[in-house]
Copies of this chain bind each other. A is one copy, B any other.
Amino acid sequence: MISKLIDSIVDKKAPVVVGLDPNMKFIPEYIRKEAFGKHGETLEGAAEAVFEFNKGIIEAISDLVPAIKPQIAMYEQFGIPGLEAYIKTIELCHEKGLIVIGDVKRGDIGSTSESYAIAHLGEIEVGGNKIRPFDEDFATVNPYLGSDGVKPFIEVCNKMDKGIFVLVKTSNPSSGEFQGKVSDGKAIYEHVAEKVHEWGETSMDGSYSNVGAVVGATYPAEGETARRLMPHTYILVPGYGAQGGKADDLKPFFNSDGLGAIVNSSRGIIAAYTKEPYKERFDERHYADASREAVIDMCLDINRAIGG
């Protein structure tokens, strides 16, 4: 699956993924009104508003980016209807030829991790039928439980040609509390990075592995270390834009082949119509056009910084 993602990144000249984390406050009033008019102020109404909002953005940017990263928490908070909107979003992305990175941060042990892997990347056998419950292409995975938690995901990846991104160094201010503790001369995130590299060797797909890593744009020095420890690992880089990561900080995340990283922006793209410099030119009815402009600007910004 990673080779498919790389082909699309190269083809679209866009090492960029758009995070669909639709907070109700970003959704234009006319969309909310229509959805609540149809379903009342219910979970169904909220879920329909979320999906309609996503649909506008997906249709506006599908030719520009290789991948979309829906954050499942933002759907889970609307219960079953929210998760139905999550699945509809994945289906629409696939119709439009987009790769879907499910930001689910799941992780457990043994057969439980296998169940999560089946839910998001695999097929569940029900009697004689095989059914794909959520059908993302990649999922994010939490490594705190060690190899027992991660290997069941890799087995499903190898069977289904899918991929994962394992949390290594997250973009948030307190990520150092445990990830930064130093043991045997190396921070915990470095120990995790070494394991990601080792796990990745069991799932190579061309020059890179289907086992990727998450390292936040807000930590460029750690990005450089992670890049060195995991030469064949694709790095999913959150934290650009709204969280404070700058394009010039991104260079260390990439390899000299110009590949090796894909940068996420969520609010900076999906709420562009509420922010400078777009809000003067786009009203809420044109929120998706603002997102398109913001994607174009983000690609230019990143390609300039990495010399692409």
**A positions within 8 Å CB-CB of B:** 21, 23, 36, 41-43, 45-46, 71, 73-74, 76-80, 82-84, 87, 105-113, 115-116, 118-119, 124, 126-129, 131, 133-134, 142-149, 167, 170-179, 181-184, 188, 191-192, 195
Assuming the contacts A73-B116, A76-B133, asked whether A182 and B179 have C-beta atoms less than 8 A apart, the reply is no
Copies in the complex: 2
Assuming the contacts A167-B145, A191-B181, asked whether A42 and B108 have C-beta atoms less than 8 A apart, the reply is no
Question: In the complex the two chains form, is A80's CB within 8 Å of B84's CB?
Answer: yes
B residues less than 8 Å from A147 (CB atoms): 174, 177
Q: A111 to chain B: closest CB distance in Å?
A: 7
Question: In the complex the two chains form, is B41's CB within 8 Å of A82's CB?
Answer: no
Neighbour of A179 across the interface among B74, B83, B115, B146, CB < 8 A: B146
Question: In the complex the two chains form, is B23's CB within 8 Å of A111's CB?
Answer: yes
B residues less than 8 Å from A183 (CB atoms): 181-183, 188
Further 14 A-B residue pairs, CB within 8 A, beyond A41-B126, A77-B119, A146-B178: A43-B124, A73-B115, A78-B133, A80-B80, A80-B83, A83-B83, A105-B106, A105-B107, A109-B170, A145-B175, A146-B179, A177-B191, A181-B188, A181-B191
Bound-state CA distance A131–B76 (Å) is 13
Neighbour of A112 across the interface among B21, B129, B148, B149, CB < 8 A: B21
* Closest residue on chain B to residue A266 by CB atoms: B112
Assuming the contacts A115-B77, A146-B179, asked whether A108 and B109 have C-beta atoms less than 8 A apart, the reply is no
Question: In the complex the two chains form, is A133's CB within 8 Å of B79's CB?
Answer: yes
Q: A110 to chain B: closest CB distance in Å?
A: 7
Bound-state CA distance A106–B21 (Å) is 16
Neighbour of A46 across the interface among B126, B128, B148, B176, CB < 8 A: B126
User: Could you jot down 20 A-B contacts, CB within 8 Å?
Assistant: A21-B112, A36-B127, A42-B129, A43-B133, A74-B112, A74-B115, A76-B116, A78-B124, A79-B119, A80-B84, A109-B170, A109-B172, A142-B142, A142-B144, A144-B144, A144-B170, A145-B174, A148-B173, A149-B172, A181-B183
Bound-state CA distance A173–B146 (Å) is 9
Question: In the complex the two chains form, is B174's CB within 8 Å of A178's CB?
Answer: no
Assuming the contacts A79-B134, A129-B41, A134-B79, asked whether A192 and B178 have C-beta atoms less than 8 A apart, the reply is yes
Q: A180 to chain B: closest CB distance in Å?
A: 9
* Closest residue on chain B to residue A184 by CB atoms: B181
Question: In the complex the two chains form, is A77's CB within 8 Å of B172's CB?
Answer: no
B residues less than 8 Å from A78 (CB atoms): 124, 126, 133
